[in-house]
C-alpha cells in the first residue's frame, strides 16, 4: 500500500486558454478512499490519468509512496485501473480476463488460478468464471473488472466513473459493495465521479474540482456543513443549497423583504454592498406570520414519500425585486399546492454567507 501526493501537478492542452488541471496540491493517505468530484470538464479524469501515467504532467510532480513517478510509464507505477466501459476481452472467459495481467507478467498457472478464485469469492462471481463477458449483466461485468484489478494486488486502485453505465438501482448496491470492499482490502483508492451523491456516500474524503482548480478537500460532513465557497455550497447536497444575493444593511442583509441578521465580523468582511446567502432546503421553516419571512411562490411540489420539496421563486416585493429560485423541504403529509405563496424563515444556525465577488465563505 502507499500514499499519493500531487505536488502542484499541472496539465495543459495545446490551444486551451487555461490548464485542464492547474497546480493540483493534494495528499492522499495510505489506505484512504478519496473521491474526485466535479462537473463535466473540471479536470477530475485528467487528474486521475496523470496519476496513472496516461497523461503527461507539464509542471509539478506526482508521487506514489516515496517514489516520484512523474516520468515513469504506467506499467512501472504499480497501479490498477477500473474503467467506465469495463474493457474486458470478449473472446476470453471471466477467469482468463481476471488473470490476464498475471499471465503477461509470467506468473505460474497455479498462482494465477488461486488469486482469481480468491478474488471471485470476494466479489461473489465464482459461478461466472467459465462464462464470456457477453453472457453477463452490466453489474457482473463491473465486478469482473474489479476482480481483474484485485488479483494484481497493486499499491493503488484508480476508478474512472465505474458505475456510470449501470441503472440507478444497481448503482446504489454496487457503490456500497465497492466501498465495503475497499475498506476490507485497505488499498489506497482514487475514485472519479460526477455524481455528488456517489461521492458523499463512498469517500473518506472528497476533493471538489472546478475549471481545473481544487476548490476544497475534506470529509463529506465537513463539505456539507462548512463549504469553503459558493461553488462547493451549490454543488454538494441534493437538492442543492439555495444561493441568493442580498443587500447589506447596518445590521444584516435584506432579501425578499426579509431582514437576515448578520454578525459585525461578517458585515466587515464583505467586499461590496451585497453578499450571497446560502441556506439548504432543510434550513427553511414554514412560518405562520409574514413578518421577516421569505415569500416564495410555489412552482412545483416534488413528493417523495418520506420527504416533499417545494420549488419556487422569491415573490416580488416593494423592497426587493430579487426573483431567485428557492427549494424548501416541507412536511410531506401537508404539502402546499402549486401557485400558493409560502412564507419561509431561515434557521439562523444554518445560514452560510459568501462574498458576492470572490465566492469565498465569509466568517
Q: Quickly list DSSP for 307-331.
A: -EEEEEEEPP-SS-----EEEEEE-
Q: Exposed, middle or buried by CB within 10 Å (0-12, 13-18, 19+), for 290?
A: exposed
Distances (CA, A) of 325 to 263, 281, 311, 341: 25, 12, 7, 13
pLDDT exceeds 60 at position 213 = yes
Average pLDDT over residues 356-362: 94
Q: Are 79 and 67 in contact (CB under 8 A)?
A: no
pLDDT tier at 234, thresholds 50, 70, 90: very high
Residue 82, judged by CB atoms within 10 A of its CB (0-12, 13-18, 19+), counts as: buried
Do 334 and 316 meet the contact criterion of CB atoms below 8 Å apart?
A: no
For 122-150, write each residue's pLDDT tens digit: 888 999 999 999 999 888 998 899 999 99
Element (H, E) at 255: strand 252-255
Q: pLDDT tens for residues 71-84?
A: 999 999 999 999 88
pLDDT, tens digit, 9 for 90 and up, residues 247-270? 998 888 988 778 888 999 999 999
pTM: 0.89
Q: Which of 225, 294, 226, 233 is nearest to 258 (CA)?
A: 294
Give me the phi and psi of 142, to 5 degrees please: -65, -35
All domains in the chain, ordered by first residue: 4-234 (3.40.50.300), 239-355 (2.40.50.140)
The 8-class DSSP code of residue 240 comes to P
pLDDT in tens, 32-78: 999 999 999 999 999 999 999 999 999 999 999 999 999 999 999 99
How would residue 320 be classed by pLDDT, with cut points 50, 70 and 90?
A: very low
Q: What is the average pLDDT across 181-199?
A: 93
Q: What's the pLDDT score for residue 85?
A: 83
Query: What confidence score (pLDDT) does residue 323 get?
Result: 62
Position 321 pLDDT exceeds 50: no
pLDDT score recorded for residue 86 = 82
Whether residue 30 has pLDDT greater than 90: yes
Q: Which long-range contacts (CB under 8 A, 24 or more apart) does 314-320 make?
A: 314/244, 314/255, 314/256, 315/256, 315/341, 317/256, 317/257, 318/257, 319/254, 319/257, 320/247, 320/254, 320/255, 320/256, 320/257
Q: What is the pLDDT of residue 96?
A: 94
Sign of the dihedral through C-alpha 287, 292, 297, 301: negative
The confidence band for 318, taking pLDDT boundaries of 50, 70 and 90, is: very low
* Band of residue 168 on the pLDDT scale cut at 50, 70, 90: confident
Cα–Cα distances (Å) from 70 to 18, 49, 59, in that order, read 21, 12, 10
* Grid cell locating 280: 439548504
| Block residue for cell numbers 456517489 | 198
Distance CA 56, CA 50 (A): 6
Within 13 Å and on the Cβ side, how many CA atoms surround 158?
22
Highest mean pLDDT range out of 136-145, 165-174, 215-224? 215-224
Q: Which three cell numbers stand for residue 363?
A: 466568517
Inform me whether the pLDDT recorded for 317 exceeds 60: no
SS3 344: strand
Mean pLDDT of 179-207: 93
How far is it between the farthest Cα atoms of the chain? Answer: 80
pLDDT of residue 255: 86
Q: What is the average per-residue pLDDT within 173-185?
A: 89
Distance of alpha carbon 46 from alpha carbon 18, whole angstroms: 14
Query: Counting beta carbons within 10 angstroms of the beta carbon of residue 131, is it exposed (0 to 12), middle (13 to 18) or buried (19 or more)?
Result: middle
Give pLDDT, residue 45. 95
pLDDT at 316 (0 to 100): 58
Amino acid at each position: 500500500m502507499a500514499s499519493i501526493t500531487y505536488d502542484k501537478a499541472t496539465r495543459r492542452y495545446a490551444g486551451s486558454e487555461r490548464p485542464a488541471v492547474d497546480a493540483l496540491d493534494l495528499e492522499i493517505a495510505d489506505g484512504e478512499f478519496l473521491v474526485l468530484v466535479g462537473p463535466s470538464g473540471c479536470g477530475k479524469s485528467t487528474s486521475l490519468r496523470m496519476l496513472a501515467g496516461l497523461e503527461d504532467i507539464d509542471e509539478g510532480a506526482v508521487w506514489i509512496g516515496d517514489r516520484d513517478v512523474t516520468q515513469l510509464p504506467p506499467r512501472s507505477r504499480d497501479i490498477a485501473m477500473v474503467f467506465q466501459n469495463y474493457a474486458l476481452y470478449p473472446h476470453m472467459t471471466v477467469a482468463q480476463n481476471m488473470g490476464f495481467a498475471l499471465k503477461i507478467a509470467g506468473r505460474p498457472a497455479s498462482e494465477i488460478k488461486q488469486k482469481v478464485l480468491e478474488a471471485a469469492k470476494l466479489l461473489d462471481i465464482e459461478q461466472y468464471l467459465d462464462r464470456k463477458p457477453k453472457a453477463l449483466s452490466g453489474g457482473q461485468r463491473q465486478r469482473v473488472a474489479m476482480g481483474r484489478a484485485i488479483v494484481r494486488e497493486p499499491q493503488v486502485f484508480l476508478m474512472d466513473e465505474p458505475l456510470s453505465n449501470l441503472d440507478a438501482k444497481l448503482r446504489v448496491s454496487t457503490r456500497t459493495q465497492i466501498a465495503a470492499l475497499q475498506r476490507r482490502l485497505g488499498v489506497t483508492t482514487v475514485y472519479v465521479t460526477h455524481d455528488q451523491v456517489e461521492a458523499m456516500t463512498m469517500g473518506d474524503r472528497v476533493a471538489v474540482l472546478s475549471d481545473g482548480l481544487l476548490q476544497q478537500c475534506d470529509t463529506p460532513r465537513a463539505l456539507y456543513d462548512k463549504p469553503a465557497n459558493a461553488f462547493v455550497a451549490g454543488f454538494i447536497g441534493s437538492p442543492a443549497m439555495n444561493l441568493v444575493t442580498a443587500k447589506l444593511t447596518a445590521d444584516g442583509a435584506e432579501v425578499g423583504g426579509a431582514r437576515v441578521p448578520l454578525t459585525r465580523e461578517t458585515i466587515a468582511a464583505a467586499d461590496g454592498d451585497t453578499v450571497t446567502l446560502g441556506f439548504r432546503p432543510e434550513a427553511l421553516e414554514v412560518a405562520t406570520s409574514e413578518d421577516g419571512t421569505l415569500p416564495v411562490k410555489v412552482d412545483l411540489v416534488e413528493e417523495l414519500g418520506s420527504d416533499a420539496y417545494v420549488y419556487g421563486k422569491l415573490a416580488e416585493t416593494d423592497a426587493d425585486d430579487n426573483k431567485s429560485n428557492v427549494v424548501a423541504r416541507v412536511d410531506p403529509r401537508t404539502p402546499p399546492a402549486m401557485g400558493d405563496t409560502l412564507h419561509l424563515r431561515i434557521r439562523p444556525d444554518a445560514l452560510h454567507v459568501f462574498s458576492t465577488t470572490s465566492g469565498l465563505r465569509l466568517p
